[in-house]
Structure 1
Amino acid sequence: MADSKTPLLGSGQAGSAPEPPAKQNAALYYDSTQTPVQRYLQISFVATVVIMVLVSLVLSLYRGISYHYNGALYLMLGICMLGLAGLEVLLIYIIRKGDFPKEKTWFLFFMGFCIMLQGVFTDILVFY
């Protein structure tokens, strides 16, 4: 990190170029603390949550449009699923940005599990 006495454009001396980062610090992936298996499990969990949200959203929208009596109820269930999925995406963004500690990523999995549980309950209610 440069201090206030470091010139902005360099002093013009030969050999004063900054050194490249060390091999261990130059990570190929975003999170170098994860093994490939952990990364695969994380991606598959997120894909499962996304599929569950899409299925529940499509079914609730279909029921909301086709039913005249409780159509608004089914539409509200779909909007609620979208809201929770938006919160999950916001949390992922905050963690990627670095504002949330990496040790607290378990909360993302907990929230994803809650979203999947709500998706199951929504599907049950839609076809009840």
Structure 2
Amino acid sequence: MTAIMTKRIYDAPAASDGARVLVDRLWPRGVRRDAADLTGWFRDIAPSNALRAVFHHKPELWDAFCERYAQELDAHPEALKPLEDLIAKGPVTLLYAARETTYNNAVALKSYLEKRLG
């Protein structure tokens, strides 16, 4: 399977990133669109605003967040198709804006995709 990585959008782009995909619903503060070097912005696969508000990067809610986020993704498989197409072609880096590097939607999405794509 192709490599799926995660990275803060505030970190400098690297050649090893492959396709760079922003997976947040909101555009990150202080990032110029031309400097982001994005392949795409897939806001439709970001967690719902309601789920984001409940979780708010609290480690104690991580498992519940991942489960509910997976349910949201399962309910809209068509939204995943463009991302899955990119993954089939080569390395993909899922970009996020959160300061929390362990408990965020990109990490949850990476885990979900790795299970889904086998």
Structure 1 length-normalised TM = 0.22
Structure with the greater alpha carbon radius of gyration: 1
- Larger RCO of the pair (alpha carbons < 8 Å, separation 6+): 2
More strand by share: 2
Greater helix proportion: 1
